[in-house]
Amino acid sequence: MTSHASDLRLIAFYLPQFHPIAENDRWWGEGFTEWRNVDLARPSFAHHYQPHVPGELGRYDLRDPAVRSQQAALARDYGITAFCYYHYWFSGRRLLERPLADVLASGEPDFPFCICWANENWTRHWDGRDDEILIAQRYDDEDAIAFITDALPVFADTRYVRIAGRPLLLVYCASAIPDPRRWLDIWRAEVRHAGHEGLFAASVESVHQQPGDPRRAGFDAAVEFPPHWTRSSVITPLVDGVHPSFRGEVLDYVSCAQNMLARRPPAYPRFRAVMPGWDNTPRVQHRAHCFVNAEPANYGRWLQAIVAEARNSTVPVDERIVFVNAWNEWGEGCHLEPDVRYGRAFLEATTRALEKH
């Protein structure tokens, strides 16, 4: 069931967490991966969809090349154009780099990709809080050149996503960089020196990055990142059987989609994004933000409208890109990958949205 939508690109954020590393063994216990959080999640109210149980791919280990090939085949068959790998880099120290390193070394799978520098502090918490930092982002003077030098071999891969010949680099928290214009000038000079047309740098509108014109900081475009900076109806008082310890929020997915679709185009370049759902119960249990009504049909309607908007835009075809948050954020209830409850329904909704004219 391959989609033939070649007039735009649909890129899904990709979490490389699903394999053990020495640091996580120390911090969370031997053999820890995100699956442990996913399996331990419990409902916080009546009809709360938790835990999310993986479907045909199972509780995979991303060190297995067969798993990576299965993921790419599924994505390609249902219209996903590329994966955007989170890239964890701390002044030369990388974490969770194994899946992408293996993809680069082996040349397989033959599926496009780009990277998003996940430049948050690495903390003991899973909700963006910085009160127990395990590895901090330091932004030393030499880090600008060190980061881009480390990324150049990734950009050199023929599968890497480009816009008008320029490698596409996302930065998750642009405002954390002390002097982003200086960093970007260094990055662009090094990328051109390496033989590329230049660098296309995009600032993610993440929880730490308030929306605004990214060009003021030297970036080329912004990237939406729902559910951050969205408005949704809070329906916590309307749900039954709320756990006495629940201190989070229950939100309506449909109102979130409607809010995003009602946004006026900004005066700056921005790539739009959708999410198949969001529920970070596995990470914070009774402090979670949980979207209900995150059904394949509702996701499909949201994506279809965003795709139509991209197709009707006046930007060059090369810049008609839509993002999905995410391919496999199981710890945040945010995944296109099949689960036991829905099977491939979100993927099938993706194909229908892309093929609708």
pLDDT averaged over every residue in the chain: 94
d(CA 304, CA 350): 8
d(CA 299, CA 276): 6
- Which superfamily does 9-355 belong to? Glycosidases (3.20.20.80)
- Model's pTM, two decimal places? 0.96
d(CA 73, CA 55): 15
Residue 357 is predicted with a pLDDT of 63
Listed by start position, the domains of the chain span: 9-355
Neighbours of 165 (CB within 10 A): 10
Neighbours of 67 (CB within 10 A): 17
> Helix 143-155 vs helix 98-106: angle between axes, to the nearest 10 degrees?
40
278 touches 333 (CB < 8 A): yes
Q: What is the pLDDT of residues 57-106, one digit of tens each?
A: 999 999 999 999 999 999 999 999 999 999 999 999 999 999 999 999 99
Cα 313 versus chain centre, distance: 23
Alpha carbons within 13 A on the beta-carbon side of 121: 15
Q: What is the pLDDT along the chain (357 residues), one digit of tens a residue?
A: 444 457 999 999 999 999 999 999 998 899 999 999 999 999 999 999 999 999 999 999 999 999 999 999 999 999 999 999 999 999 999 999 999 999 999 999 999 999 999 999 988 765 445 567 889 999 998 999 999 999 999 999 999 999 999 999 999 999 999 999 999 999 999 999 999 999 999 999 998 878 899 999 999 999 999 999 899 999 999 999 999 999 999 999 999 999 999 999 999 999 999 999 999 999 999 999 999 999 999 999 999 999 999 999 999 999 999 999 999 999 999 999 999 999 999 999 999 999 986
